[in-house]
Amino acid sequence: MKAPTPEQVEAMMIEKMGALPSSLNSAKAIDPRFLIEQAMSSKFSIQDEKNPFDPKTSMMIALAVSITLGSEECTQEQTRMLKKMGLSKEEMAYLVKIVKHATSSAVMGNAKAAFDTFES
């Protein structure tokens, strides 16, 4: 199977998201092959036919990671796609609550070395 061209990938992304995210537009200006790489990454994760999660759950996981990493552009794009998939306000609220809990739990885990060192 022949790999798609950057132009084909861009057209698919625009069809799916309504526009090419600005980060990918900037990357494309440097090397259009970044579009293919991004699409292949999605194909082998979120869009993989062996993915045990449904598309909405997969996108919710991606959104949770984007929120955690602080990627505003990805957070906006994924939220737009999730709204089209029927994400409710309640689901959004719980997604953020779970991210908030996981992040604060990670802080406690990261502080273990400080706690242990202080007590030794």
How does the average pLDDT of the chain come out, rounded?
92
Pairwise CA distance, residues 7 & 93, whole Å: 37
Q: What is the mean pLDDT of residues 12-17?
A: 88
Say yes or no: 68 and 32 in one domain.
no
Band of residue 18 on the pLDDT scale cut at 50, 70, 90 = confident
Range of the domain at 24: 1-44
The whole-number pLDDT of residue 1 equals: 66
Nearest residue to 94 (alpha-carbon basis) of 116, 115, 63: 63
Q: Is residue 59 part of a domain?
A: yes
Measured between alpha carbons, how far is 79 from 73 in angstroms, rounded to an integer?
10
H or E element, residue 77: helix 72-84
pLDDT digits (tens, 9 = 90+) for 67-107: 999 999 999 999 999 999 999 999 999 999 999 999 999 99
C-alpha closest to that of 7 among 30, 26, 29, 35: 35
Do 38 and 77 lie in one domain? The reply is: no
Same domain? For 69 and 120 the reply is yes
| Residue 96, C-beta contacts closer than 8 angstroms, at least 6 positions apart | 67
> Is 49 within a domain?
no
Domain count, the chain: 2
Instruction: Identify the CATH number of the domain in which residue 102 sits.
Output: 1.20.1290.10
Q: Are residues 30 and 71 in the same domain?
A: no
Mean pLDDT across the stretch 102-115?
92
Same domain? 10 vs 31: yes
Residues 79, 110 within the same domain: yes
Question: Does 16 score more than 90 pLDDT?
Answer: no
Mean pLDDT over residues 47-62, rounded? Answer: 95
Average pLDDT for 16-28: 89
Tell me the C-alpha distance between 80 and 93, whole Å.
15
pTM to 2 decimal places: 0.82
